[in-house]
Amino acid sequence: MILTAIAIDDEPQALEVIRLHAARVAFLDLKATFTDAFEAMAWLQTNQVDLLFLDIKMPDISGLEVVNCLPKAPMIVFTTAYSDYAVEGFNLDAIDYLLKPFSLARFVKACNKVLEQKTLRSDEEPDFLFVKTGYDEEKVMLSDILYIEAEGNYLTYVLKNRKLLSRQTMTELQQHLPAHQFARVHRSYLVALSKIDKIGRQELTIAGHPIPIGASYEDTAATIRAKISQL
């Protein structure tokens, strides 16, 4: 199982420490780092990760405020030089609290805690969701979804034997889908990883349908292959 993560800290040196430590943890995939918390929050609007390494004391907005602003926050490991914030951090259900400067061993211990939580949560994940179609809501098994196409504020669920049209945005939907089973590969497409038949450099194929891979998305062909290998 792979943990995906980003890190937010206004000090570039602190981010470099996290990058170096993360490179030593085989099951950790550090997607990006940010010195600007608002840029990170914007990134999280269109991307999902399991874990957020988050400094608490930052200019303009604190790490505690960042968590409260996110509609669905990832698991949190706070990183800070100030022990005074520990109680507040754990009140926000943080998985761990790393007091700077922290060692590689302490960093790995925190990552192991997060991995354990992800394993527990994945065991509890529902295998269906309800899709609103007009005034009704239809139960859709996750295993029936091939891919989902967005057009404006509407989504078309392409299933094994039918299609469903729902008034919903892709960002809203991503909050309800397990990230290890689905990937957004384009501004207008989200795919079921297990249903991919062919992967090219700029497109993939599901049930004979070509789907473009957007250049600006994290889930490039190489990343998709890595995710599929973890299924």
- pLDDT for 123 equals 59
Residues 115, 135, single domain; the answer is: no
- pLDDT for 27 equals 92
- The list of the chain residues with pLDDT below 50 reads 86-87, 89-90
Q: What ranges in 35-103 are assigned the alpha helix state H?
A: 37-43, 63-69, 86-91
Question: 34-71: per-residue pLDDT in tens?
Answer: 999 999 999 998 888 999 999 988 888 888 888 888 87
224 half-sphere exposure, CB direction, 13 A CA radius? 28
- pLDDT for 12 equals 96
- pLDDT for 90 equals 47
Task: Write the CB contacts of 92 (distance below 8 Å, at least 6 apart in sequence).
Answer: 64, 67, 68, 76
Round to whole Å and give the CA distance between 188 and 209.
14
Question: 74-102: per-residue pLDDT in tens?
Answer: 899 999 887 665 445 445 578 888 999 99
Residues 120, 138, single domain; the answer is: no
Q: What ranges in 125-181 are assigned the alpha helix state H?
A: 170-174
Round to whole Å and give the CA distance between 8 and 58.
9
- pLDDT for 25 equals 94
- pLDDT for 84 equals 63
Residues 134, 52, single domain; the answer is: no
Structure tokens at 73: 């926050």
Residues 160, 69, single domain; the answer is: no
The predicted model scores a pTM of 0.55
Residues 13, 112, single domain; the answer is: yes
Residue-range definition of the domain harbouring residue 188: 128-229
Residues 74, 174, single domain; the answer is: no
Residues 117, 132, single domain; the answer is: no
